[in-house]
Structure 1
Amino acid sequence: MLSLTAVGEHVTNRSAKTCLYRCGNQCAHPVPNTSANSYFGDMIAAAVSRRSVVRGAAGAALISTLAWSTAENAYAAPGRGKPTMAGFEPIAPTPNHVDDVVVPEGYAWTPVISWGDPVEPGAPDFDVHNQSVEAQKRQAGYNADYLALRRGGAGNNAANKGLLIFNNEYTNPELMFPDYDEANGPTAEQAAIEMAAHGMTIVEVRRQGQFAPWTYDRHGARNRRIHAWTPFHVDGPAAGAEWMRTSADPSGRTVLGTLNNCAGGETPWGTSLSGEENFNQYFNTTGTADPDGRLARYGIQSSGRGWERADGRFMVSSEPNEVNRFGWIVEVDADDPTSTPVKHTALGRFKHEGATIRIATDGRAVAYMGDDERYDYVYKFVSKGTYRKGDKAHNKTLLSEGDLYVARFDGDGLGDGEWDGTGVWLPLVVDGTSHVPGWSVAEVLTWTRQAADLVGPTKMDRPEDVEPNPHTGHVYLALTNNTSRRPAEIDEANPRASNKHGHIIEWREAGNDAAALEFSWRIVLLAGQPNDPTTYFNGFDRRLVSPISCPDNVAFDSEPDHLWISTDGAPGTLGTCDGMFLMPTDGPDKGKVQQFLSVPAGAECCGPVVEWTDRSVLICVQHPGDGLPSSYPYLGDPVPRPGVAHIYRPNGRGTGS
């Protein structure tokens, strides 16, 4: 079981228990990527030697003073020339002891669905003192992360009906169970309840009108819980490989469950993608040898979470291949509650934050993916087949076969006063052939991290959400942080050592074609306090922006220049609650970061869905009460209950609109 002794060693921006239960306190362990890939540091050092530089607060950042705006290093106090954004008056940063969802003046919020709410037929109402495995399998899962709203439904008022899909990333057993024994870990029953609370939740929703709040239908025909015992079909080149076979599944083509599902994306053909992220923490490796380093490269080096007490497949010594069956992108047809979800091995195996789709010029489907780990990589998959509008059955095969690439970000020096450059997509698998010498296609796709190490991609600062703007095609990458990066390891794409605040990169594929193998890139946000000279807000005056730290998810709405950012880590870096921010990407307000909302004490803001025409924002409130008392969603329960919240403008008009 994961030892709580490791909690005291955690070095990240989150509370000790979030680090423990979300990722197995990975940042307290050695960096899994020990490859010797270049940081392009020589080029940076040469440029720095010719220019004035400043050091960050920790003495570890090397940032050209020419790269940033000439604004004074001061943040405008409330009321001092603080500009109004289209549709809302920005909120001030919320101190991290405030247990509330704070929204702009004139907006309201309400919980839509929370952990334990009944979803499938026969599910009982939530009762923290009478939990059971069978009840949890039919109730909403824990710690919502990725979120999607699929609009439309049958019958009258179809525009105000929809389907809500959200991931259930991980569990906080110390908050779930009033009698939890932190010293000894879960009982077998508690472990099984945790397993049932993982996965995904799908529910039908409706509202009374365009500006009314969404509510969920506990009797919706498409309601569904996906959990650790839900059968998944495995497809692609690694399906059926010997290392995918177990005693329960000698075919290597059927896996029970999906774990640690973080972000995701909606496909143009009407399915949902979900990324299996920190799957490493669930497996007990006690007594297991690792001669080829494959377990270590994925951070699978702990005594797990005690789940082997409920299911022996989580003991690596007795089921050594089970761990290879996690770390994939999964696809779910939420419209069909009887459908079998799929794990797509063609997209590679790593700690997937998620996957988002853009259709290339020639009709092929392109999936962008980040591997959320310090010094790991950004990937792109290009399907072999082409998208056919209206042919869902065909389009659901597009992620089963195609080419896989990993990104190299080349800086161009500091001569132009910006952090930017060009990039190349390095081939791993193309046309069914491995481009990693000595590796088969199935091996590349199963141990993708080690395969990528051999072709020389750029080590990034925890690449998380990667999203193409649906209006422009420009791609935005959230790099949450990396406090492990040393001064000698900085490069132009990761320009700060001990990077606790994170940054965002925009890139543009050559010819604006998603399938292109070259791109240009630039940093558009170096997060942090505006009075820190190492921050950068796409050239905007730092006196007029909100503090922001640890970008995690990005989202877009009907406005081509709206980039929405949700954060994960502000309590530890800024002393404020995490929240959601708007940063225009074009026009006179380009780079003007302003805060739209904040989530309660200890919580993280995830999975934003923005329908700005309706002044409607849906978010996931994850791990409320972690490290600080919370009673979210304020329904009188004795424990906090993570879930989905809706922020809306009752009269449909925002401040200033």
Structure 2
Amino acid sequence: MAKDFSKMEDSNRSSNPSIHDLSDPARRVLLRGGLGTLLGGLFAPLGVAGLAGCATVGGGSSLLGFGSVPVSTADAVSVPEGYVAEVIAAWGEPVGLSGDMPAFKWDASNTAAEQAAQLGMHHDGIHFYAQGPDSGLLVMNHEYVDDGLLHPDGMKTWTAEKVRKSQAAHGVSVIEVERKDGRWQQVLPSPWARRITATTPMTVQGPAAGHALLRTAADPKGTQVLGTFNNCASGITPWGTYLTCEENFINYFNGPEKPSAHEKRWGLKKVDATMYRWHEFDERFDAVRHPNEINRHGWVVEIDPFNPSSTPVKRTAMGRAAHEGATVAVTADGRAVVYMGEDSRFEYIYKFVSRDRIQPGGARANATLLDHGTLYVARFNADGSGDWLALVHGQGPLTAANGFADQGEVVVKTRQASDLLGATKMDRPEWITVDRNGWVYCTLTNNSNRGGDQQPGVDAANPRRNNTMGHIIRWKEAGGFEQAAFQWKHFVLAGDPANERAEAKGAVHGDAFACPDGLWTDARGVVWIQTDMSTSAMGKGDLARLGNNMMLAADPSTGEVRRFLVGPAGCEITGATATPDGRTMFVDIQHPGESPSERSDPAAPTKISNWPHHRAGGRPRSATVVIRRRDGGVIGT
């Protein structure tokens, strides 16, 4: 995810209302009567006690049984007393391909071919697939790269080899891990080991497969695509596959000086020196020459981790977007429902409901399940109700006369279709999770760019107008996940009560935090929140007292939020998963040492961080952290 907010995509110029317009009465109350009055209006559209307040919803004792970790700026991972955090699977370690296990070179001189057999950079979404009580597969995303760390001289010189290495450091890794002598470690080599990169062959299925908008000179049929990249959050399916999501894919393409309306709506622009520059040595990333190549990315990709020879599939029925994640729920009659956010300013929240029921028999029996169904976009109404608006060709304005010739064009142009339907513009909707009671939660990281004539609904009465802190929204469909109507409310307004600026104080019952991003619900029902404060903003202004990025636990029944982990300098905390018994948690530490400009100085790689190895002559490395209680108990109790 782009961390420099000045570079973040912001291409939605529709007149659709934003979520802030819907809270306008509550905002006026805040200015007159203060934060307590805001809680009564903003948090109670469902007639239920405010989850972010002190009232207990549902009663009972807290799910949180650990002591709060203090804010920290140390270059280390801190966890509660009685817990231990150990590092495995750092960037550059071999994934375990038999006969091809190159060691990591601390001077960054590994070749592109070696990187293709090693764990990628910038770990993100992750899941543990248990194979036994003490073993399983970890599947993880590698969102993007820091070319200042990836190459010995950074981007001082730029070559085809560097492009290939950058592409090889993106994508997904599958590794095998086991617990041996009380500690988790990689299994090397492993028959399950696999790297999926920006050049891995993939198939396209669903309504956009073969569409004219996906055809290129290299693929005149529009059904075969090379690679996945900017893989952010992820999802798991009940049939045992992994869903990886292509987020800010547009940043990898060179665009024309004057993009078309379609290209402009997706944020395509001419590459400058701060971007990836892949197009200089890989022509398909030059959208001037190959304008359809951008339409072949931005999809949810399904991977079978238990079949290393299987081909990943881009599932176009679920729509094209800057997908943050894909969280799967199951209807009462056995159909799959996939909730998806789109992490860009003023973009939307989606869900997909499969036409068919999930079948026993794993990946093979459900090989086309996600190719048929209905895609929806969310509209949040001011009275606390909401509607899922169907993105179906021929319904409402989604007709040929309005630029949608068929369903394939609807899913390629999901943003434009959502604009026409009047969906609600959100503040960077990111990870989504579903709790045990059917509530669906979505993190809205922040949006400090709502000013200006082109953003409707901005006025002096808007207390979160400069939303530097972010919030979490939740909703529930009465009658089941497949229903088109829902009720919504805010779960928490992130913030720091010590702030002088009213809109940055937030409404947190517990430990202060800002910029919620990662979100995961464990088997006990605890909602885990991970933060992504920009390195360029961290320790300044509204974020001055919040230290490094962190992971917190929230009890949905009481609204209490408690800090569980703080990461090293310059990192993002992201991705969480656990063993089935809840006694081991895996968390990803992404881009430790990230500079405010997002690209490290190759002459001073440890200027901000030297985590996790703190080695002389080393460099910071994204890695997975294994967290256990010293007494072997369940995490969080």
What TM-score, normalized to structure 1? Answer: 0.84
1:87–1:653 contact (8 Å) kept in structure 2: no
Q: Partner residue of 1:198?
A: 170
1:244 partnered with 2:244: no
Out of 561, 565, 569, the position equivalent to 1:601 is: 569
Q: Partner residue of 1:580?
A: 551
Q: Partner residue of 2:227?
A: 257
Q: Partner residue of 2:152?
A: 178
Distance 1:123 1:655, change over 3 A: closer
2: CA distance, partners of 1:164 / 1:299: 33
1: CA distance, partners of 2:2 / 2:28: 39
2: CA distance, partners of 1:66 / 1:389: 46
Out of 34, 37, 42, the position equivalent to 2:13 is: 34
After the TM superposition, which of the residue ranges 518-527 and 238-247 deviates more from structure 2? 238-247
Out of 442, 446, 449, the position equivalent to 2:415 is: 449
| Shift of residue 655, structure 1, vs aligned partner | 10
1: CA distance, partners of 2:362 / 2:140: 25
1:398 partnered with 2:369: yes
Amino acid at match of 1:94: S
The secondary structure found in structure 1 opposite 2:527 is: strand
Q: Partner residue of 1:474?
A: 439
1:600–1:624 contact (8 Å) kept in structure 2: yes
2:143–2:231 contact (8 Å) kept in structure 1: yes
Distance 1:38 1:161, change over 3 A: same
Out of 76, 97, 101, the position equivalent to 1:123 is: 101
Out of 593, 598, 623, the position equivalent to 1:643 is: 623
Distance 1:356 1:315, change over 3 A: same
| Shift of residue 437, structure 1, vs aligned partner | 2.6
Out of 510, 523, 528, the position equivalent to 1:564 is: 528
After superposition, what is the alpha-carbon deviation per residue over 1:393-440, rounded to whole angstroms, capped at 9, x for unaligned?
Answer: 23231111111110000122xxxxxxxx1100011127x978613212
Q: Partner residue of 2:116?
A: 137
| Shift of residue 41, structure 1, vs aligned partner | 7.0
| Shift of residue 306, structure 1, vs aligned partner | 1.2
1:213–1:648 contact (8 Å) kept in structure 2: no
Q: Partner residue of 2:195?
A: 225
The 5 Å alignment of 1:262-281 reads: 262-281=232-251
The secondary structure found in structure 2 opposite 1:308 is: helix
2:84–2:627 contact (8 Å) kept in structure 1: yes
The 5 Å alignment of 1:369-380 reads: 369-380=340-351
Amino acid at match of 1:180: G
1:311 partnered with 2:282: yes
2: CA distance, partners of 1:111 / 1:29: 31
1:524–1:536 contact (8 Å) kept in structure 2: no
Q: Which runs of 5+ in 1 are unaligned?
A: 1-21, 76-82, 153-157, 413-420
1:621 partnered with 2:589: yes
2:397–2:420 contact (8 Å) kept in structure 1: no
| Shift of residue 208, structure 1, vs aligned partner | 2.7
2:9–2:345 contact (8 Å) kept in structure 1: no
| Shift of residue 23, structure 1, vs aligned partner | 3.3
Out of 49, 64, 67, the position equivalent to 1:89 is: 67
Distance 1:358 1:47, change over 3 A: closer
2: CA distance, partners of 1:655 / 1:29: 35
1:553 partnered with 2:518: yes
Distance 1:328 1:51, change over 3 A: closer
Q: Partner residue of 2:612?
A: 633
The secondary structure found in structure 2 opposite 1:323 is: helix
Distance 1:404 1:655, change over 3 A: closer
2: CA distance, partners of 1:650 / 1:264: 29
1:23–1:281 contact (8 Å) kept in structure 2: no
Distance 1:43 1:139, change over 3 A: closer
2: CA distance, partners of 1:137 / 1:150: 23
Distance 1:47 1:178, change over 3 A: closer
2: CA distance, partners of 1:463 / 1:490: 19
Alpha-carbon RMSD across the aligned residues, in angstroms, is 3.1
Q: Partner residue of 1:428?
A: 391
| Shift of residue 123, structure 1, vs aligned partner | 2.5
1: CA distance, partners of 2:21 / 2:71: 39
| Shift of residue 656, structure 1, vs aligned partner | 9.9
Distance 1:177 1:495, change over 3 A: same
What TM-score, normalized to structure 2? Answer: 0.86
Q: Which runs of 5+ in 2 are unaligned?
A: 55-60, 596-606
Amino acid at match of 1:436: L
Q: Partner residue of 2:143?
A: 169
1:164–1:203 contact (8 Å) kept in structure 2: yes
Q: Partner residue of 1:529?
A: 496
Out of 72, 83, 87, the position equivalent to 1:107 is: 83
Distance 1:603 1:138, change over 3 A: same
| Shift of residue 290, structure 1, vs aligned partner | 2.5
The secondary structure found in structure 2 opposite 1:313 is: helix
2: CA distance, partners of 1:255 / 1:142: 22
